[in-house]
Amino acid sequence: PEAAHVRPASAWADEVISLFYGDEVSHGSLLPWSKTHGSIRLRPNEVSVWAGYNGSGKTMLLNQIMLGVMAQGEKVCIASFEMTPKRLLYRMSRQASGSSEPSIQFIREFHSWTDNRLWLYDHGNLVNPDRLIAVCRYCREEMGIDHIVIDSLMKCGIATDDYNRQKSFVDQLCVHARDTGMHVHIVAHGRKGESETQRMDKHDVKGASEITDMVDNVYTLWRNKRKADQLPQR
């Protein structure tokens, strides 16, 4: 049976040409900011880690990105274990309206717009990793969802020092994305260092090193708090 999996390299010629010149060059969802359109795509079959220190704006940024993804016709599920659904949708309503106090009419129209675009996985504060993998499968196979956000890795029922289980869980998410075409977004936290005023890189992501080694994309967020403190308060 393994003989069927051993094929000449030339069998992939058309697919390689497609990577260079076909639809896959421009395949995937765009970020909301035009300056990124030539360099970043959220492609199917991939896993992205979004990492930052506490207060760096990871959830806020991903919410904005998911609003943009939905506007492009993609379906999204957010599994947030950091905040309640009503609080998450409160923040998304503000972002979608561009106002700190959107009108009741806008809020109702926004929530109507999210139908068949946005789903939330409503499950307390902690979840078993195996159950979350099952949720990913259900969302893709039964709902046709294109993007799932897991916010955050720390809330997935794995001890902070259980590196083997962290590695196994992320590996399962990578296999799921590769096999189904879903794009998986994982929110991760930064290790506590001497100061949060220093920019972080992928080596500062809390947990097993394989978390950033196995995934397709790693985005690190950093907020210049010194500069933010000097800005006028609104």
Sign of CA dihedral 90, 124, 120, 165: positive
Other beta carbons within 10 angstroms of residue 61's beta carbon come to 18
> What is the pLDDT averaged over residues 161-179?
95
Tell me: pLDDT of 197 over 80.
no
Mean of the per-residue pLDDT values of the chain:
91
Question: How confident is the model over 140-169, as a mean pLDDT?
Answer: 93
pLDDT confidence tier of residue 23, bands split at 50, 70 and 90? low
- Rounded-to-integer distance, Cα 202 and Cα 186, Å: 13
Lowest pLDDT segment from 68-82, 135-149, 213-227: 213-227
Report the chain's terminal Cα–Cα distance, integer Å: 66
Q: How many other CB atoms sit within 10 Å of the CB of residue 150?
A: 27
Contact 49, 55 (CB under 8 A): no
Q: What is the reported pLDDT for 20? A: 84
Pick from 190, 180, 114: nearest CA to 152: 190
How many residues make up the chain in this entry?
Answer: 234
Q: Does 234 score more than 70 pLDDT?
A: no
pLDDT range class, residue 95, cuts 50, 70, 90: very high
Q: Given this model, what pLDDT does residue 225 score?
A: 76
Q: Residue 66's pLDDT is what?
A: 98
